[in-house]
Amino acid sequence: MTAPARQQTGRGRRTWWWVAGLVVLLVAGVAALVWLLVGRDDDTVAGVQPTPTASAEPTPSPPLHGEPSWTPSPTPKPTSVPPKPDQESGPAAQALTGATYGPFSGSPEDPGGSGSWITDVRSAAHPGHDRVVVEFDGDYVPAYEVGYTVTSGPFQDVPGDVVLIEGEAFLDVWLQGTSGVDMENNYAPVYTGPDRVRSDTTVVTEVVEIEDFEANVHWIIGLDESTPFLVWTMDSPSRLVIDIES
């Protein structure tokens, strides 16, 4: 009965050494895993640095060039009014902030009971732009719309006669509720200037009257080329100002 007891004790010792070895292996595996986790940081994995991603540079917008694509609409479009210099000439008149290919339009807030008739139409060269001015004798500028014409001519006046205008591009200047005569005083002439205005300008070739009929006035500005322009108004006296980049 003694021999079988010794065999059972040997098997127990071998089992204990097997369990101890398994524990050692588990401890070693956990230690290796902890070392890997501690040795890893947020920006490096297994010693390999991440490749930086180049940020895309913004593509600048191309400058404004080319022919205008405006098609005139019978409905006037609202337009923002740029800052107004105090005088028609001088350093303040050189800036053309907000110049586009148009159109520009506007109407008086309170025209009152009396008319505002055309007294003068003139053009002049300024540094960086040409200027066309329509002046009125009233205390407001009548409704207006200024934009590039759809066609390059020939143009016709109210009777249907062909009117030739020098230039490669043309700006329509429409005025409503006004005239070159005083319609409230037996149609007495107010504008006595020419119907074809020329001066020593850079891009403007000439300014030609096409229509003055039933309180609708139409002038056309001839240009050497299509170019951005800006329209705004001035007071004392009331003036419609058209600045054209040259």
E strand intervals along 94-215: 104-106, 118-126, 129-136, 143-148, 155-156, 162-163, 169-176, 181-182, 188-189, 196-197, 204-213
For the cut 60, the answer to whether the pLDDT of residue 234 exceeds it is yes
Alpha carbon separation from 32 to 24, 28, 35, 170 (Å, rounded): 12, 6, 5, 84
Residue 204 pairs in a beta bridge with: 223
Instruction: Let me know: does 226 contact 148? Beta carbons within 8 Å.
Output: yes
Q: What percent of the chain is predicted at pLDDT more than 90? A: 52
Q: Which pLDDT score is estimated for 113?
A: 73
Mean model confidence pLDDT for the chain: 75
Q: Which residues contact 221 (CB under 8 A, 6 or more apart)?
A: 132, 170, 171, 173, 204, 206, 207, 242, 244
Cα-based distances in Å from 49 to 35, 43, 87, 165: 19, 7, 65, 71
- Whether residue 230 has pLDDT greater than 90: yes
pLDDT at 204: 98
d(CA 188, CA 112): 20
- 168-225 per-position pLDDT tens digit: 999 999 999 999 999 999 999 999 999 999 999 999 999 999 999 999 999 999 999 9
Q: What pLDDT score does 193 carry?
A: 96
Report pLDDT digits (tens) over 123-161: 999 999 999 999 999 999 999 999 999 888 889 888 889
d(CA 47, CA 62): 45
R_g of the chain computed on alpha carbons: 42
Check residue 240 and give its pLDDT: 98
Rounded to an integer, what distance in angstroms lies between the CA atom of residue 241 and that of residue 246? 15
Most confident of 20-24, 106-110, 188-192: 188-192
CA dist., res. 139 & res. 114, Å (int):
9
Q: pLDDT by residue (tens digit) across 29-72?
A: 665 555 444 444 433 333 333 344 343 443 333 332 233 333 33
Predicted pLDDT at 199: 94
Across 84-108, average pLDDT: 71
Which residues, including other chains, have CB under 8 Å from residue 155's CB and lie 6 or more apart?
A: 162, 163, 164, 165, 170, 208, 210, 220
What tokens appear for 168 in the block?
């490669």
User: Mean pLDDT throughout 77-90?
Assistant: 44
Using alpha carbons, select from 113, 117, 172, 122 the residue that is nearest to residue 141: 117
CA triple 221-122-66, angle to 5 deg? 30
